[in-house]
Structure 1
Amino acid sequence: MSEKHYISYADIQIGQFVEREFVLHRQDILDFSKFIDDRYSFHVKSEAANLLGFPDIIGHGVHLLVFISKTIGEELPGFGTLYLSQEVEFFRPVQSETKLLVRITVLEKGSNRRIKLRTEIFDSLDNPCISGVGVVKAFK
């Protein structure tokens, strides 16, 4: 097993942040929809999306949370992080093939290696798509 990246609790600083880019591909949306057995919504049918004023299918909000989880688990704090809670607000739908920027910012450090994080996703025009606060427990 290769060595995993993590930042120790002692080395994490208030205000520290990481940014990571992702693209939400059409096939990713369809695969996620299949995984959760969503067969008829505006996430899988262009016609349904058109009825709601969208040019094509849009991503599931909870699917976008996966990008936040991946960034936390691989970047800040990194390997071994346990996700304890997440509050989230959704601001706008995300079309397929949208380039996304995930930003994770350290807000507070608590007892027992707990860390409060601001969790955000922006689209390519810097519009907020998701914003929230998560609490994690650092590995070491």
Structure 2
Amino acid sequence: MSSTTDKKSYGIDELSIGMSLTREVDVTDDTVRGFALVSGDHNPVHLDEEYASNTRFKKRIAHGMLGGSLFSTIFGTQLPGEGSIYVSQSLIFKRPIYIGDKVAATVTITRIDTEKRRVFFTTQCTVEGKVVIDGEAEIYIP
């Protein structure tokens, strides 16, 4: 699979099946608290260490959608890039993301419909090589 460059956006005719991009992010306490503020999700499993210690996770976990939101960053800023519109996304949360984890979010083009200007991707987040989020996305290229 090929990796893209620092280009800001791709036209539909510049894309090809197999194009891929990975973005790595360190999940910090500030990241999780900021996501809680923006999303309004103040579930104590994300924010309260004492509460989280009594759950099956044993410590605080990041919001699942925090990991999922990394795909939006890639789609809107790099691949396909500026101007692209998120049409749909499916996500399966396979493992928790913990504070302190380095998450690698990868999108890969699987299909292109030039007539409808739609691009289809697999989406995946991993931590230390283990899949934590799996999914698929559809993006419209204006």
* TM value normalised by structure 1: 0.89
d(CA) in 2 for partners of 1:114, 1:38: 32
* Matching residue of 1:119: 123
* Matching residue of 2:74: 71
Is the contact between residue 123 and residue 137 of structure 2 (CA under 8 Å) also seen in structure 1? Answer: yes
Cα distance 1:53–1:106, how it changes in 2: closer, same or farther (>3 A)?
A: same
Choose from 61, 65, 84 the match for 2:64: 61
Q: Which moved more, 1:33-42 or 1:8-17?
A: 33-42
d(CA) in 1 for partners of 2:89, 2:69: 12
SS of equivalent residue, structure 2 residue 47? coil
Is the contact between residue 38 and residue 44 of structure 1 (CA under 8 Å) also seen in structure 2? Answer: no
Q: Does 1:5 align with 2:11?
A: no
Identity over aligned pairs, percent: 24
Once the two structures are superposed, residues 84-119 of structure 1 have per-residue CA deviations (whole angstroms, 9 ceiling, x without a partner) of 000110011111121111111001011321001101
How far does residue 35 in structure 1 lie from its aligned partner after superposition?
A: 2.9
| Structure 2: runs of 5 or more not aligned | 1-6
d(CA) in 2 for partners of 1:136, 1:39: 30
Aligned residues: 135
| Cα RMSD, aligned residues only | 1.5
Cα distance 1:109–1:38, how it changes in 2: closer, same or farther (>3 A)?
A: closer
Cα distance 1:40–1:87, how it changes in 2: closer, same or farther (>3 A)?
A: closer
d(CA) in 2 for partners of 1:130, 1:85: 16
Choose from 118, 131, 135 the match for 2:134: 131
